[in-house]
Amino acid sequence: MKRVALYSKSGRTQSAASTQTVAATQAAAPPPSSAAAAAAQSPPPRPRRFARLRNAAGRHRGLLLFVGGMAAVLAGLQIDRHYISGAPREITQRDIDQAVRTSLEKKPLPSQATKAAMAIGPSIVRVLGHGMPDGEEVKSKAAKPPLTDPKKDGNKARPKGQAESETEENTAIGTGVVITERGDILTNLHVVAGSRRITLTFADGTEAGAYVVAMEPEHDLAVLRATKLPDDLQPATLRSTGDLAPGDEVIAVGFPFGFGPSVSSGVVSGLKREFRSPKGEKLLTNLIQFDAAANPGNSGGPLVTMEGEVVGIVTAIVNPSGARVFAGVGFAVPIENAAGAIGVPPF
């Protein structure tokens, strides 16, 4: 039995057979077109310019995807910040001025006079000197008025709504200012001189009796001490008049005609003035002249700077007509003159 060869032993025989097969195939196929012939004759395409980059990208594909994702996230955040909060810009002086103007339009700041009145308010005291026969005066601490509480002095109670001046003769209304933590109160001597008793009303409504502890008649000053003090007593801040000048703004605080505490504003009109009482009995010197309104009841009250500091004690007004009302000229005793009255220099 004849064996079948698995492989050809002759290359020639296989090549001839292959040649015959290709020739037969070409004979059976239709002739190629001119385009196909041109394509067959054209050289193979060259590698692209960025082949190396593509190869590198393929090798580091994971890293590139991570970097690209992070860039996209950051770009998204930047876009959101731009549209939500706006791009940051430099703040100019115009922006600041506009913000301040808008704030002031919504809530105006208090005036200097208002701030000064708020600062001195807790130290203001209403002083009542209840009468005694004319010509008698309190001359020393030993001759002080009786220490009586106006609510428990044993006097007949006055009808509700009736003023004290209607139940007791020669009642003087004036003003005082607390000047020490122990409760010393500075006022005018003429407010309490000749009084049988003195009563005080503090800023918080506390009422108490009082007596004279020191006097300076040459400056029309008296120092009172209350029999009872408020828990939150606030003494005023005193200021030297050494740098005070005409034109400086001041306020006068007191109880004009019993109304108050009332505040009036003005300026310092002059310094080192002299004043003689209408009856010519007393000459006061080295006075501060001011034009803030003051009337009977302001006596003993403080003359206050715009910083809320006391520079004087209101003591007199001048009216050429003789009427006891303000005509534009008031006088205050400089606060330095209170040093002798309280026993220690305030500055």
pLDDT per residue as tens digits for the range 204-251: 999 999 999 999 988 999 999 999 999 989 999 999 999 999 999 999
Better-predicted residue by pLDDT, 259 or 36: 259
**Which residue out of 123, 190, 195, 264 is catalytically annotated?**
190
Query: Positive or negative, the Cα torsion across 323, 327, 329, 332?
Result: positive
Better-predicted residue by pLDDT, 54 or 201: 201
pLDDT at 239: 92
Q: Is 220 a catalytic residue?
A: yes
Percentage above 90 pLDDT, the chain: 41
216, burial (CB in 10 Å: exposed 0-12, middle 13-18, buried 19+): middle
Q: Is 190 a catalytic residue?
A: yes
**Which H or E run contains 115?**
helix 112-120
**Which residue out of 184, 220, 265, 291 is catalytically annotated?**
220
pLDDT at 90: 81
pLDDT at 156: 38
Which segment of 17-31, 75-89, 92-106 scores lowest on mean pLDDT?
17-31
pLDDT tens digits, one per residue of 151-179: 444 333 343 343 444 445 568 899 999 99
Q: Residue 279: which pLDDT band, with cuts at 50, 70 and 90? A: low
Better-predicted residue by pLDDT, 123 or 136: 123
Better-predicted residue by pLDDT, 141 or 177: 177
pLDDT tens digits, one per residue of 53-74: 666 666 666 666 766 766 776 6
Q: Residue 277: which pLDDT band, with cuts at 50, 70 and 90? A: confident
pLDDT at 267: 97
pLDDT at 254: 96
Mean local confidence (pLDDT), 130-143: 48
**In this structure, are residues 249 and 265 in contact, taking their beta carbons and an 8 Å threshold?**
yes
Mean local confidence (pLDDT), 119-147: 65
pLDDT at 6: 45
Q: Is 299 a catalytic residue?
A: yes
pLDDT at 128: 94
The residues, any chain, with a CB within 8 Å of residue 335's CB and separated by 6 or more, are 238, 239, 240, 241, 310, 311, 312, 313, 346
pLDDT at 7: 44
Give the separation between CA 321 and CA 308, rounded to whole angstroms: 33
Mean local confidence (pLDDT), 17-38: 49
pLDDT at 211: 94
Give the separation between CA 232 and CA 242, rounded to whole angstroms: 31
User: At residue 138, does pLDDT exceed 90?
Assistant: no
